[in-house]
Amino acid sequence: MQIEVIPEGDVQHLKLVLKGELDALTAPKLYEQLTQLVQSRPGLNRITLHCRELTYLSSAGAGILLMCMDNFTPKGISIELADVQPEVYNILDLLGLTKLMPVHHA
Amino acid sequence: MPKTSLQFGATTENLPIVRHFVQNHLRSFTSDSVQINQVTVAIEELCANSILHANKEDPEKELRLELRLQGTTLHIYLYDPAPPYDLHQYPQEPKLLRADTNRPGGFGIFLIRRIIDRIDIRKRKGGSSVYHMVKDLNP
């Protein structure tokens, strides 16, 4: 999986592009990178993950997204998913995560 | 789709191989990408449980996944060298935060239950096991 940071002037809003498959092998990498980015950006209050090119999500990937939300919310940082493909949205929906965090269709 | 099978070692590095094997075979039967993805996820979660929990990520342990299509019904068999674990003993709802690990848990088994129509678990001679999942692809 590839994780790309979208350069943005707004220091409060971090935008990332996720490409590929978020599974047991790649989920720890996403968590590590997001945690580093949060630590390096004081004043951050919003993270948007653009998922148009995210083609697969396993339970491990969904678990990491939830863990990010659990860890970042107390720091005043919201996390949302944008441009989510129907296959990935369906899995998030089955797990009930679409009720816990903003998830927007592609 | 005739009977087809894949043999693989019990390591998480083989999960993408399992995933792409399942996707490729289901695509020859249906173009419903959401359903293909659901079934793929359910099969991968079953394999991941066997790899991580039953076989403790021992790459020397060999698992065999078999897909058989009868009409519109997909039969999925996972032959596992480890003794069976009872999927039905897990809580019905996933834990958003497990007290023991401080992480979410139970998502994989929850997804299997939501997606798959029926699952049977059998102990085989010698202590190994076979998991049989059934999914109607055209309900």
User: What is the per-residue DSSP string for B4-72?
Assistant: EEEEEESSGGGHHHHHHHHHHHHHTT---HHHHHHHHHHHHHHHHHIIIIISTT-TTSEEEEEEEEETT
Positions in chain A short of pLDDT 70 = none
pLDDT at residue B29, rounded to an integer: 87
- CATH number of the domain bearing residue B67: 3.30.565.10
pLDDT at residue B88, rounded to an integer: 72
Element (H, E) at B114: helix B107-115
Shortest CA distance from A21: residue in chain B? B16
Distance from A60 to chain B by nearest Cα, in Å? 8
Of B16, B33, B107, the CB nearest to A59: B107
Bridge partners, residue A16, by sequence? A5, A49
Domain range spanning residue B89?
Answer: 4-136
- Smallest CA-to-CA distance from B31 within B138, B121, B115, B135 is with B138
Neighbours of B117 (CB within 10 A): 11
Note whether A24 contacts B37, CB cutoff 8 Å. no
Is residue B23's pLDDT more than 90? yes
When pLDDT is averaged across residues B3-10 and rounded to a whole number, the result is: 96
B115-124 confidence digits (pLDDT tens) = 999 999 999 9
User: Mapping DSSP to helix (H, G, I), strand (E, B) and coil, where does residue A85 land?
Assistant: coil
Residues of chain A found within 8 Å of residue B18, distances taken between Cβ atoms: none
Neighbours of A52 (CB within 10 A): 13
Integer Cα distance of A33 and A36 in angstroms = 5
Integer Cα distance of A34 and A37 in angstroms = 5
Residues of chain A found within 8 Å of residue B37, distances taken between Cβ atoms: 56, 87-88, 90-91
Total domains, chain B: 1
Considering the entire predicted model, what is its pTM? 0.92
Domains, chain A, with CATH or none: 2-105 (3.30.750.24)
Neighbours of A99 (CB within 10 A): 9
| Interface-testing mutation among B92, B107, B113, with chain A (most A C-beta atoms within 10 A) | B107
Integer Cα distance of A21 and B21 in angstroms = 15
Residues of chain A found within 8 Å of residue B40, distances taken between Cβ atoms: 56
Of B34, B94, B96, the CB nearest to A87: B34
Bridge partners, residue A97, by sequence? none
pLDDT confidence band for B98 (50 / 70 / 90) = low
Of A56, A63, A88, the CB nearest to B19: A56
pLDDT at residue B41, rounded to an integer: 98
Shortest CA distance from B44: residue in chain A? A58
B contact residues 54-93, partner A, Cβ 8 Å cutoff: none
pLDDT at residue B96, rounded to an integer: 64
